[in-house]
Amino acid sequence: MRILTTLALPDAGRARVAGIDVLARPAAVRRQIGVAAQDATLDGLLAGRQNLVLVGELSGMRTGQARTRALLTACLCALVVVVTGLAVGWRTTAGLLPIIAGFALVLFFAYSPSWVAACVGLNSKSPESAASFGFIVLFPLAFVSNALVPTQHMPGWLQAVADWNPVSAVTAGARQLWDNPNPSASIAAWPMQHPIEASLAWSVLILAVAAPLASWYFRRRTTE
């Protein structure tokens, strides 16, 4: 494998990749092969989109082109989610602006925990321990919310936790903007009566704490 990727010279014989001789034209061979990382990311300090840009640059793309491709990849992922929702029966009677606002609300909130994940990654000893953040924090936030079941059927103490869960606020806010059924509208808790404001408040609060902290961890990690 090292010979085929031009990282080592053969002792004898010849080797070709896509018809190109690895000894005669090693640079041309490198342009034909990609990067296959053994871990989930090429660089544990980078976010998902940044890793996509890095892969693009390693594949010979210009930085601007790699960033455009990464953005298009993210948009494609969002489109897949929307199409899947439409396929299983999701509909909205809201206008274009509320629909866009709903997606913006969800994406803004999704952006804020990425800084928390950056803090976890910068303090983790391995990619595996960093990946456990999703199971330990994100999964419980999703399950103990109104995203899957109405919180009215939960025990009293658990309902209070779910009603103040930021995921519940984002879910209720998106449902309100998209003019979808929102069972949480009958709950007296402030986040359920003002889900859009609560979603924005949670997102800004998380960003205000996690973004500077992640930057500080990064500077400390890169200067040690």
* Domain membership flag for residue 39: no
pLDDT score of 27: 81
In which region does residue 46 sit, left (phi positive, over 0), alpha (psi from -120 to 50) or beta (all else)? beta
Q: Report the predicted TM-score, pTM, of the whole model to 2 decimal places.
A: 0.66
pLDDT score of 11: 84
Instruction: Tell whether 144 and 74 lie within a shared domain.
Output: no
Instruction: Tell whether 113 and 22 lie within a shared domain.
Output: no
pLDDT score of 176: 93
Residues present in the chain in total: 224
Gap between the Cα atoms of 193 and 100, Å rounded: 21
pLDDT score of 59: 61
Among residues 176, 181, 45, 13, which one has the least CA distance to residue 117? 45
Q: Please answer whether residues 191 and 198 qualify as being in contact, where contact means their C-beta atoms are separated by less than 8 angstroms.
A: yes
pLDDT score of 60: 62
pLDDT score of 54: 64
pLDDT in tens, 55-75: 666 666 666 676 677 667 777
Residues in the chain with pLDDT values less than 50: none
Instruction: Tell whether 20 and 55 lie within a shared domain.
Output: no
Tokens standing for 162? 């779910």
Domain boundaries, position 3: 1-33
Handedness of CA 137, 143, 147, 150 (dihedral sign): negative
pLDDT score of 122: 78
Consecutive H or E run containing 209: helix 195-223
* Domain membership flag for residue 55: yes
pLDDT score of 31: 74
Instruction: Tell whether 109 and 83 lie within a shared domain.
Output: no
pLDDT in tens, 2-23: 788 777 888 888 888 888 888 8
The residues facing 20 across adjacent strands are 17
Instruction: Tell whether 1 and 59 lie within a shared domain.
Output: no
pLDDT score of 134: 67
